[in-house]
């Protein structure tokens, strides 16, 4: 029987100063155990807080460390971008007033043309800078900006999250890129000329749409051009004492034969966003009918392109997935993989239909859940049309979030339904992204005191 009894809280101090040998032994053991517990906790805490503290520095691979934070890293909010085409104001009757700025973070204005000597010119001055829209006065004094760019400037002023970039090049206007990019003098002129347009028009960035570099020399010169453009934009911002970055982006291919030529790691040093043109996988040039913008499956797909870009040095958050607002048609075919004869009338050009016209009357709309692609098929005239519908756009938005990509882009905005229509693709991607993540709300630029246009200088007051 033990002579030990626990001390009660009411015992006086003399009892606590004369414990038995058994109390001493147990107390020492308790203190030792507590010391070991606290020491272990301290080691674990330090390991989590300073993981490199206990590593052998000589044998440590620095590549396992997270890269240092780049203070110029673009906003991690998701991008929702759309191309606005200058010619949309004609037969399409689509103007800036038809845009829904609440569901867009970036507008890309198509297109300006690069000349071989490096000068950059607007292709349609009447639409771009001269046309008077409703509300424009004919009696303003001074040299003033009108046309689409004035309307975009007014839209930016009311929606400070909305950034507008000038897109230079495009499929029909890229022929001068190789010669221009190959020479220092013409590159210098390109940088000077494009930034002058940005300044005069009151824009937020430049979007390079070189379709396409054809060899390693082009790829090298492309990186050099982007480096000099990035430097020029940063110097321009510094001259205005602005810390808000001017954007430099590029429309880039999703076709393997094209993207394998590019120096993606080199380009990534200077670009804020890669607008991946993830469409036109099939068309009138193809041997068989097929999906034109499938997420998976097939010889070409979006996922394969995205993974290539990431594996070759492009940060996932810089990749913005392009999605078509049009369908590509194939006539006299059984469908995916089948031979075809003809491509149909189209909306504005043969074989290409505005999304808002799809599916055609008497055609069934079908979703390929394996490829994540939609199409319509008319069994009477055997017309197959490949396009994205709201279900596919929702799946692509979910993919963007899951992969940590930068956002989504559309070519082009005039072909969508208004955003009050539940079939609107812009509405769909906005609802999907807005519901699970933050959208890009970085501010635009509205101060251009050195513009050649008086109303731009005055901030459209």
| Interatomic CA distance for residues 249 and 204, integer angstroms | 11
Name the phi and psi angles at 97, rounded to 5.
-65, -15
Q: Can you list the alpha helix ranges (DSSP code H) found in 404-448? A: 425-434
- Give the angle 427-406-358 at the CA atoms, nearest 5°: 35
| Interatomic CA distance for residues 237 and 219, integer angstroms | 27
Name the phi and psi angles at 208, rounded to 5.
-95, 125
Token look-up 């399409």 returns 92
Q: What is the CA radius of gyration of the chain?
A: 30
- For residue 307 the two structure tokens come to 């993974």
- Alpha-carbon dihedral of residues 424, 429, 435, 441, nearest 10 degrees? -110
**DSSP, residue by residue, 81-117:** EEEEEGGGGSTT---GGG--GGG-SEEEEEEEEE-TT
| Interatomic CA distance for residues 379 and 376, integer angstroms | 10
Catalytic residue among 62, 192, 211, 242: 211
Is position 228 annotated as part of the catalytic site? no
Region of residue 142 (phi > 0: left; psi between -120 and 50: alpha; otherwise: beta): left
Q: Which residues are catalytic?
A: 211
């Amino acid at each position: 029987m033990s002579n030990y009894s626990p001390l009660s809280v009411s015992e006086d101090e003399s009892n606590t100063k004369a414990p038995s040998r058994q109390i001493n032994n147990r107390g020492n053991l308790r203190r030792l155990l507590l010391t070991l517990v606290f020491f272990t906790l301290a080691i674990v805490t330090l390991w989590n807080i300073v993981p490199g503290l206990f590593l052998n520095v000589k044998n440590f691979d620095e590549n396992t460390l997270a890269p240092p934070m780049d203070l110029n890293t673009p906003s991690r909010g998701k991008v929702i971008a759309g191309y606005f085409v200058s010619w949309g104001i004609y037969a399409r009757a689509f103007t800036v007033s038809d845009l829904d700025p609440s569901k867009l973070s970036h507008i890309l204005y198509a297109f300006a043309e690069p000349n071989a000597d490096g000068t950059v010119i607007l292709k349609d001055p009447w639409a771009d800078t001269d046309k008077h829209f409703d509300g424009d006065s004919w009696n303003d004094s001074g040299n003033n900006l009108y046309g689409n760019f004035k309307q975009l400037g007014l839209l930016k002023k009311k929606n400070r999250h909305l950034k507008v970039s000038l897109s230079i090049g495009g499929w029909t206007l890229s022929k001068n890129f190789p010669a221009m990019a190959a020479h220092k003098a013409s590159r210098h002129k390109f940088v000077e000329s494009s930034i002058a347009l940005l300044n005069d028009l009151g824009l937020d960035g430049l979007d390079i749409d070189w379709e396409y570099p054809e060899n390693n020399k082009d790829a090298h010169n492309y990186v050099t051009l982007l480096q000099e453009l990035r430097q020029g934009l940063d110097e321009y911002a510094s001259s205005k004492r602005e810390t808000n970055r001017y954007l430099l982006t590029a429309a880039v291919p999703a076709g393997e034969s094209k993207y394998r030529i590019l120096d993606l790691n080199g380009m990534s040093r200077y670009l804020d966003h890669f607008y991946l043109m993830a469409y036109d996988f099939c068309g009138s040039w193809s041997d068989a009918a097929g999906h034109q913008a499938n997420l998976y499956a097939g010889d070409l797909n979006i996922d394969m392109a995205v993974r290539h870009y990431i594996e070759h040095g492009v940060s996932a958050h810089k990749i913005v997935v392009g999605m078509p607002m049009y369908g590509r048609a194939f006539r006299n075919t059984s469908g995916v993989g089948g031979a075809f004869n003809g491509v149909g009338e189209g909306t504005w050009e043969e074989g290409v239909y505005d999304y808002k016209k799809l599916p055609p009357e008497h055609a069934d709309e079908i979703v390929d859940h394996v490829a994540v692609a939609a199409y319509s098929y008319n069994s009477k005239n055997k017309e197959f049309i490949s396009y994205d519908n709201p279900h596919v756009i929702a799946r692509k938005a979910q993919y963007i979030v899951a992969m940590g990509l930068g956002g989504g882009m559309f070519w082009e905005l005039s072909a969508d339904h208004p955003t009050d229509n539940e079939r609107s693709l812009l509405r769909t991607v906005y609802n999907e992204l807005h519901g699970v993540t933050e959208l890009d709300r970085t501010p635009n630029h509205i101060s251009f005191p050195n513009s050649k246009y008086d109303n731009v200088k005055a901030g459209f007051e």
